[in-house]
Structure 1
Amino acid sequence: MNALAMDAVLIDGLSPLYRLALAYAPGPAKPAWLSFLSLDTRLAGLLRQARDPVLAQIRLAWWRERLEQAPCDRPRGEPLLARFADWPDGGSALSPLVDGWEALLGDPPLPLAALESFAQGRAAGISALAACMGLADPAPDLARSWAMADLACHLGDPREQALALKGLADCPAPAGLPRALRPLLVLQRVSTRAARKGGAAHLTTPAALFTAMRAGLLGC
């Protein structure tokens, strides 16, 4: 499969919100964003599809170990994994993203500490993405805010949703946020609005699209 075909397959696997956010990435930043969003989607799917938490943990461990492995020693046959070979240190800085998803494997209701661990892991993943694009990471609070808002939209236990919502706070766009990180602002703005409006159903409304356009075009 050539690179363009692989990109098309990965884009098709993204959620509507992820595809919308990707659309606001400048051309040179799109491959890195596509890789990151695809990995995040794959990890989420491991939790969603595994009936046995132990099985999900094993599969998450596989991704962690492969990311921490030298690219030349990694197994072939996983196109998504191969995309991280050119990242700094082969994408090993994405391991905390795997840890973050693993923190959600406990029995409900998950404690606030587990939700915070997830948010910190996703923020670390955004830091790795920024480094891949040659940027300092000016937006850890924005990344954490997106992670917590996204949780609030998708958690099934009302007690967990309440904790995630409690952890939400207004997060102004960092001054000088690079355009290459504009998709993060789209994700955070749309997810936060949806969480406060009632959940995932509000991620794809016309108002959500307007929120995404404002964040993606104006950076606010």
Structure 2
Amino acid sequence: MDEPLLQSLPIAHRLALSYAPASAKADTLALLALDARLTGIVRGDGEAIIAQMKLAWWRERLSGDPEDWPLGEPLLALFKAWGGDTKRLVPLVDGWETLLGDTLDRAAVTSFSRGKAQAWSALGDGLGTGSTSSAIERAAKEITLFDLVRNLSRPEEVVVASNMADKESWERARLPRALRPLAVLHALSRRAWIGDKSHLLDGAGAMALAIRVGITGR
């Protein structure tokens, strides 16, 4: 496994990834590392136009033929062996770009969460889970909305994301074994959201939950 890419992930994502089956680990790392890369681009301190240019670069690569990709980019090298269709990751890039706007409204949040959901669905298809995409996309959207609530600073934007997250409707996700990292992240997010906690890994309770879901899926 590519250690620098692994180290680029948040701790909770690294923990979740550790429960991926061996056959799914590289593809899951690729998706998580791409999302971490896009996060850094959008949440960086540079000009918005620079961020847009970087996002456009990734959009062009993912929508193009892998045989035409430049050499020397470890993440692209990992995606060359990706089991899914990388073109289905373009909405993930588009969703991140919506966060560069002056105001985060419901349409932007919808685009952002949809991009994440479609990316996880593409991963599931690439891994041959044979599972319907609805449960996968629902879990990914809920995680995404909670993450927005945790990271937004403007009260009016927090309200938009919180209303769309709707903690009362969250249920335990039932996902295929190949997507065990998504199940772990969803369980941790659900626990933090319902318990009004600001961090996914806030102590022994969170670790116990991650271990249980990572092993059993429930």
TM-score by length of 2: 0.89
**2:66 aligned with 1:71, yes or no?**
yes
- The whole-number CA distance in structure 2 between the counterparts of 1:173 and 1:191 is 11
- Deviation of 1:44 after TM superposition, in Å, equals 0.3
Q: Which residue of 1 aligns with 2:157?
A: 160
The match for 1:185 among 159, 183, 204 is 183
The match for 2:123 among 96, 114, 129 is 129
- The whole-number CA distance in structure 2 between the counterparts of 1:90 and 1:179 is 20
Q: Which residue of 2 aligns with 1:27?
A: 22
Decide whether the 8 Å contact of 1:153 with 1:191 is kept in 2: no
Q: Give the secondary-structure state (helix, strand or coil) at the position aligned to 1:164.
A: helix
Identity %: 44
**2:171 aligned with 1:171, yes or no?**
yes
- Runs of 5+ in structure 2 lacking a partner? none
Q: Which residue of 1 aligns with 2:9?
A: 14
Inter-CA distance 210–160: structure 2 relative to 1 (3 Å threshold)? farther
Q: Which residue of 2 aligns with 1:219?
A: 217
Q: Deviations over 1:70-91 (max 9, x none)?
A: 1111111111012112335751
Q: Which residue of 2 aligns with 1:81?
A: 76
1:94-133 equivalence runs, <5 A:
94-108=89-103, 110-133=104-127
**2:201 aligned with 1:204, yes or no?**
yes
Decide whether the 8 Å contact of 2:173 with 2:187 is kept in 1: no
- The whole-number CA distance in structure 2 between the counterparts of 1:134 and 1:30 is 14
What letter is aligned with 1:148? L
Q: Deviations over 1:22-77 (max 9, x none)?
A: 01111111111111100000000001114211211111110010011111111111
Inter-CA distance 121–210: structure 2 relative to 1 (3 Å threshold)? same
**2:147 aligned with 1:150, yes or no?**
yes
- The whole-number CA distance in structure 2 between the counterparts of 1:112 and 1:69 is 30
- Runs of 5+ in structure 1 lacking a partner? none
Decide whether the 8 Å contact of 2:62 with 2:86 is kept in 1: yes
Q: Give the secondary-structure state (helix, strand or coil) at the position aligned to 2:79.
A: coil
- Deviation of 1:197 after TM superposition, in Å, equals 4.1
- The whole-number CA distance in structure 1 between the counterparts of 2:209 and 2:151 is 19
- The whole-number CA distance in structure 1 between the counterparts of 2:9 and 2:84 is 25
TM-score by length of 1: 0.88
| Root-mean-square deviation (Å) | 1.8
- The whole-number CA distance in structure 2 between the counterparts of 1:198 and 1:72 is 46
Q: Which residue of 1 aligns with 2:34?
A: 39
- Deviation of 1:198 after TM superposition, in Å, equals 4.2
